Structure 1
Amino acid sequence: MDMVRNFHMAQGLGETSYAQNSPLQKEVIESVMDITLRSAMEACAAETVSIADLGCSSGRNTLSVVENVIRAVCERRREATQQLPEFMVFLNDLPSNDFNTLFSLVPEFVQKLKAEHDDGGGILVSVAGAPGNFYGRLFPSSSLHFITSFTSLHWLSQVPAGLLNNEESVNKGNIYMSPASLPLVATLYFEQFQKDINMFLRSRSQELVVGGRMVFSIIGRMSHDSHEKINECPLLEALEKSLSILVSQKLVTEEKLDSFNLPFYAPSTQELEDQVHREASFTIDSMKQAHDWTIHEYAPKMLSNFSRAIIESFICHHFGEEIIEPLFETYTQLLCEKLVAREDIGWSKIIVVLCKSAAS
């Protein structure tokens, strides 16, 4: 469990250097901003509007989301000649997140919003940290009006149990649920996903007011077949190949590689729909799927650094720090080769808007 906690620290459920300045993360957020703002304006009609961003990390991208949500809600109130609300903003991540860096940005953020709406006393925006794991309850019942979570939910709470059977790996040579994995591996990953997403939805259902909304984005797969083109993640595929190269160079043992698995699952839209219906507290306002980045839009080094920031702590914990430099040198080279070959290195994202439809 410590390995997973360390891993989450570096991928958006915890502190990360890429999150502070990542153009890739910013692009993901901007791509879902229109639907986020529409949902926020529909959900936030109270005198005091409570907003939570889950898996916020510690960079400016976090506050840009909240800033635009507040601005959109205020604009809707003005159009209706209604009094502007007060705002309570909760920023959630694991306790290990760099909240000090995040909170250092808050005074400027609050003053900017007050200056924009200084037409009768301005607005009140209070910001608080909410450290904790979002696979469980974080807030009081019926206390939130709007929730966002971007690029976090494809990371599971833990590596699925059963991938090691009597210390023998059932996913040899693979580091995630890849196309080369056995059907049993797909089953184990899917079962863990079901447990985690149900816990997430159930917790958010209890925390949202009836009519409150939640917007989240998640890496998904295009196929509804649980073992067809599984996960479709070329960046992870390249990482897996890089580790195999280090095995051939005797920098990593084969046994060490065989026991390494990432807690990553990319669901299909059908799987997400099924879980929402099973939990039964939400209606689906919107669910759409789109293809994301390609290697031709970003330099291989940038993509390599992006991946490194996400998973470095997990790799260090399992393999040791000494392999990091050779691993990511190899990884960058593989990405360069994909660029020369004009191979696509994008993936699919699913954007979901849910409305709390029933008291829980």
Structure 2
Amino acid sequence: MIDRVEIKNFKSIRDMELNFTNFNLITGTNSSGKSSLIQSLLVMSQRNEDDILNGKAISLGTPINIINEGVGKGESAKISLYMEDGTELECSVSAEEQVGNRERETRSFFYEKDVFYISANRASVMDTYPKNIEHNQKIGKNGSYTFDYFLENKDKKFSEKYYEDLLPFNEKPIYESIVNYWLKKLTGYIFDVEHIVDTNVIRVLFNKEFEYSIKYRPQHVGTGVSYILEQLIISLLSKEGDIIIVENPELHLHPKAQNELAEFYFWLSKHNRQIIIETHSDHFFNAVRVTKSQDPTDNSKKVYFFYQEDGNTTSINIEMGKFGTIENMQEELFDQFSKDLRKMLLNVEDDSTFDHQAVEEDTLSDEEFALLNKEFEEL
């Protein structure tokens, strides 16, 4: 796992140091540098490829595309990773030298630990999906071979400790059963895949797991179901110590499903997977707050808020109190609901008990605002 990352002069990140834990939530305003952080990690995952900037995980173009605009001549973009086991990995890129200061490793990224990347640019929902004919990578960019990889590995066995906490789990401890367990828990559906004979195509079908249930093609169950399934398939391929990077897991999902998907990633992180999620979902954010309120001593989750200042990315470690309260609230940190509610409160009739002046001047404390919100809901 990554213990700490240091980034200098990479895109909008001039100088940043982040400490990571099991579950890491990255959020912030648009174009604030969240994706730049993810891209820096993916660049490091391509250390063994001939072109470190343009590999199987991500393509970023030439060095000039990734070097911070404010750097002086001769300065480099530099990424340093400090691993939990004491390993240090480093890479620097300059416009003049191209890629330098990089030792090729005989073993894979982070000493045989894999990185699973679920991009926001995912394969579209289709009735059939292509097989991976070349077999030069597991999943493919944008998850293009997700279902083919599942078909090849669906009978893979898992160790007992991996599923012992999944309620009474009566099915075989195999990959297919665990994926379907979580899919049913999150969506109510289970699924199956099959290779269409004499083709290079795979068919995916969903059903409700009861007698005479109709089998549905992906386009008839809603985009969110397929998007959840792709995340489950890829994430559950991971081994202990692996790193799972997910962009916008909330796409096409109802708030309840977003919250339950967050619970899935919490479960994975508890089983020694490192989760790094970039999101705009307040439901993922609030799910972290709930866990903090349930166990104030839990330090296995971190939230970083990104914003830009003078064209460069700044990050803030969001601190939470024992009840899930935000100790260092930031402007634009999921505060739009509160802003809109204040506007609604100002429209309440004058004969109400609301302190309109306090609402308008935004001088209410969080406790006063919560009580006012409750009274407003009871009108």
Highest RCO, 1 vs 2 (Cα 8 Å, sep ≥ 6): 1
Same structural fold, with TM-score higher than 0.5 when normalized by the shorter chain: no
User: How high is the TM-score relative to the length of structure 1?
Assistant: 0.28
Greater fraction of residues in helix? 1
**Structure with max Cα Rg:** 2
User: How high is the TM-score relative to the length of structure 2?
Assistant: 0.27
